[in-house]
């Protein structure tokens, strides 16, 4: 479709600004409305500050927008998971084969500011302090509230990038059944911080995502370019009968210190402001949002968290949203109508969203419980061996999701098959010495077709 009108984006967060850039670059008149102020003037005032893990899917989208270099300048490379067992040696579990397969820790606020600059440079018009209040789809008019008044805006189409609590989604639901449902995780999180060392450097290895796995709860730490780490404690919100700690029981600074003294003793000296951070920072909740329908004819479409919010445990929420932006821009360019573009976008991306939502939930169990489990570690060792023996057929789960751009649904389906091969081949073993390589090779050849990455 040739750019013939204007497109209105609701939300100037990560997805909204990237989408604005991609569409403006293709010749569309783009206006973006954001309920918050301009963070370049007033500082970033986003929601969660959990650092983001930028992977190949997200990097590809940033390359399309010409914003990758500016983002990577402030990113910190993470080679793998640095596992801190309660008893035993700290060890690194690489994400990939070498430094060509890494992920990047990025600040949500710094990334948002870089993308705001990119959107304006591409020609998009940004309106701050303008929160969506109402939509009259019959007249093609949206009302935005700000500065104590309503601001009426005529639109050709609304593109919803306004997050998990999307106002646009709520207005669309008044006109069509979106099949919306939210599944809340019984676990929540609390953010803490590791400050720089006295000499100004990092206190622990910077090029890794640090994990303190404790079965049904855990801590993680992601590096920042200010030489700090954002630490996140994940555990049950309420007692669940397991005997594990929960936020109801660990309700104040004294209880938090006692928890860290017992379960995270090597992390405790790294967090000198533990009590202050624990008291000051709210306990966050986590949920998965499912929709069966993402668009309302050619008038409105949802993407990113507004369409498929997920828990953060695979580090793919932002990467998935960025992939949405590229896919939607491509469909708008290819389809003869906006309605056709929105329908094609939903048909392509909804199965992938479902797949990564499922994998994100699965990865929480892996991170908190399995990364120091002997059976899991043996399967990881076999996974790498089978990749070396069958590079075109057997690609590790993490590599498919993180270092490739094959559809998430394909990665999920293949991962299920591969997990079965790994479990069967290592059953009852303590090392790879007893593996029946002929049987494992035959299973790979029989069950897995050669895999090609998405086109560049």
Q: How many CB atoms lie within 10 A of CB 329?
A: 23
Report pLDDT for 1: 82
Least Cα distance to 74 among 44, 112, 120, 100 occurs for 112
Contact 156, 28 (CB under 8 A): no
Least Cα distance to 393 among 442, 456, 454, 360 occurs for 442
Type and span of the H or E element at 87 = none
Report pLDDT for 43: 74
List the chain domain ranges.
Answer: 6-75+107-181+287-363, 184-285, 373-447
Report pLDDT for 47: 43
What SS3 state is found at 149? strand
What SS3 state is found at 105? strand
Say which residue the tokens 């929105």 belong to. 342
Q: How far is 30 from 11, CA to CA, in rounded Å?
A: 12
The conformation of residue 403, written as its DSSP 8-state character, comes to: T
Cα-flanking dihedrals φ and ψ of residue 56, to 5°? -60, -40
Give me the helices (H) in 4-55, please.
Answer: 14-25, 39-42
Cα-flanking dihedrals φ and ψ of residue 150, to 5°? -95, 140
Least Cα distance to 180 among 289, 296, 320 occurs for 289
Q: Which residues pair with 126 in a beta bridge?
A: 32
Q: How far is 378 from 371, CA to CA, in rounded Å?
A: 11
Report pLDDT for 365: 80
Least Cα distance to 116 among 208, 42, 170, 183 occurs for 42
Q: How far is 50 from 219, CA to CA, in rounded Å?
A: 12
> May I ask the CATH class of domain 6-75+107-181+287-363?
alpha beta
Longest dimension (CA), the chain: 73
Pairing of strands 80-83, 91-94: antiparallel
Q: How far is 451 from 251, CA to CA, in rounded Å?
A: 49
Type and span of the H or E element at 95 = none
The conformation of residue 130, written as its DSSP 8-state character, comes to: -
Pairing of strands 158-160, 300-302: parallel
Cα-flanking dihedrals φ and ψ of residue 352, to 5°? -70, -40
Report pLDDT for 3: 87
Tokens in use for 313? 């445990």
Report pLDDT for 369: 66
Give me the helices (H) in 125-273, please.
Answer: 167-173, 253-263
What SS3 state is found at 296? strand
Residues of the chain falling short of pLDDT 70: 44-50, 368-369, 371-372, 453-456
Q: Which residues pair with 105 in a beta bridge?
A: 53, 76
Q: Measured between alpha carbons, how far apart are the two ends of the chain, in Å?
A: 22
């Amino acid at each position: 479709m040739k750019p013939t009108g204007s497109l209105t984006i609701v939300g100037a967060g990560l997805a909204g600004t990237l989408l604005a850039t991609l569409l403006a670059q293709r010749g569309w008149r783009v206006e973006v409305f954001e309920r918050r102020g301009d963070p370049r003037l007033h500082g970033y005032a986003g929601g969660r500050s959990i650092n983001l893990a930028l992977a190949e899917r997200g990097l590809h989208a940033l390359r399309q927008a010409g914003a990758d270099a500016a983002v990577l300048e402030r990113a910190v490379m993470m080679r793998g998971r640095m596992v801190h067992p309660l008893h035993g040696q700290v060890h690194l579990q690489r994400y990939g084969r070498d430094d060509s397969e890494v992920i990047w820790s990025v600040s949500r606020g710094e990334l948002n500011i870089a993308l705001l600059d990119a959107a304006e440079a591409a020609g998009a018009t940004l309106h701050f302090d303008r929160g969506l209040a109402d939509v009259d789809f019959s007249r093609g008019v949206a009302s935005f509230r700000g500065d104590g008044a309503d601001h009426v805006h005529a639109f050709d189409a609304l593109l919803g990038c306004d997050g998990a609590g999307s106002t646009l989604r709520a207005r669309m639901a008044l006109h069509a059944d979106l099949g919306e449902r939210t599944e809340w995780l019984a676990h929540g999180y609390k953010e803490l911080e590791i400050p720089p060392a006295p000499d100004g450097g990092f206190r622990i290895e910077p090029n890794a995502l640090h994990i303190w796995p404790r079965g049904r709860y855990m801590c993680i730490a992601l590096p920042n370019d200010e030489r700090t780490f954002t630490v996140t404690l994940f555990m049950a919100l309420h007692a669940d009968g397991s005997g594990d700690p929960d936020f109801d029981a660990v309700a104040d600074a004294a209880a938090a210190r006692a928890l860290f003294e017992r379960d995270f003793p090597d992390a405790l000296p790294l967090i000198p402001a533990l009590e202050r951070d624990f008291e000051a920072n709210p306990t966050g909740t986590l949920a998965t949002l499912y929709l069966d329908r993402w668009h309302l004819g050619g008038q409105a479409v949802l993407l990113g968290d507004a369409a498929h919010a997920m828990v953060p445990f695979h580090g793919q929420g932002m990467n998935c949203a960025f992939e949405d932006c590229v896919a939607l821009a491509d469909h708008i360019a290819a389809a003869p109508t906006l309605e056709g573009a929105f329908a094609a976008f939903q048909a392509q991306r909804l199965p992938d969203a479902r797949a990564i939502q499922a994998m994100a939930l699965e990865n929480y169990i892996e991170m908190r419980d399995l990364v120091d489990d002997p059976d899991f570690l043996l399967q990881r060792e076999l996974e790498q061996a089978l990749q070396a023996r069958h590079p075109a057929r057997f690609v590790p789960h993490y590599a498919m999701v993180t270092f490739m751009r094959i559809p998430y649904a394909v990665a999920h389906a293949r991962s299920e098959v591969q997990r079965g091969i790994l479990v069967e081949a290592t059953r009852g073993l303590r090392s790879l010495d007893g593996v029946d390589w002929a049987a494992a090779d035959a299973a790979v050849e029989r069950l897995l077709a050669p895999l090609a990455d998405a086109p560049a």
